[in-house]
Structure 1
């Protein structure tokens, strides 16, 4: 009887460990300064999904992606907060130059102390994309270039899930 009890105890501990390891990673909430002088809250305080893009002014792929992120922000503003976060190694005046040149209106955040980079791009590989729910759970993340169509596809999966998941 004692052996069965130990096996049951071991099974419960094992299943608990599996559930924890399979759960979605969660980010620590951040408040970042925007070039506009306002603050960006990650995750969104109003219950929207948050699309975080970590980029660098020295990354040509990153800079070419910014207009697509601008379009994503315009199309999904009711349900999604899009925040671009420049690496802490990018001087604020250089980030501002890119924002001005591309006429970006989406939130452009500065990661002055590196908190966002440590969470979203600890290896400093950019661009990196992260979709968070309102609780900060990571729903999707990838590194490398994404097209606007790929961004839309990913958002649609989480905004309008298949009927089987509702």
Structure 2
């Protein structure tokens, strides 16, 4: 037997604890959906940025304290039912964001902007990846920093060059 004094290197490696059950994954997504639906102030709130920031903030705050979030957001479950549930949740999030972008168009995308669904797919993927990564770290960042980081990525993904330089479409100063 080889021993370091702390760990028996010849002992069989224990398998990972089983992942969440389908019911747990469904309950996680239901809590997330409820939190974001309750946070949505609707069209009366004004521009897309203000509205979406409230929704994204609620989403991040909800997943921050969820122990299952890193596993589920990465879509790494071996269970096909859980993977299907996660895919459906991602599609619902994407459809919701695309609808909100469309409701505020052309202010968000301009008259010749990209299809709102394309922007929403990219933004939701980025939101989930950044959050899953942060929550998987040995020391996750403070919740409010993660809220700011995720919002920054979503905003830049949806608004593109507009988010980086609001003057891009100013007369005499053409954008790409």
TM-score bracket for the superposition, by shorter chain length: under 0.3
* Structure holding more strand per residue: 1
Which protein has greater RCO, CA pairs closer than 8 Å, 6+ apart? Answer: 1
Query: In terms of Rg, which structure is larger?
Result: 2
Question: Which structure's residues are more often helix, by fraction?
Answer: 2
The TM-score normalised by the length of structure 1 is 0.27
TM-score by length of 2: 0.26
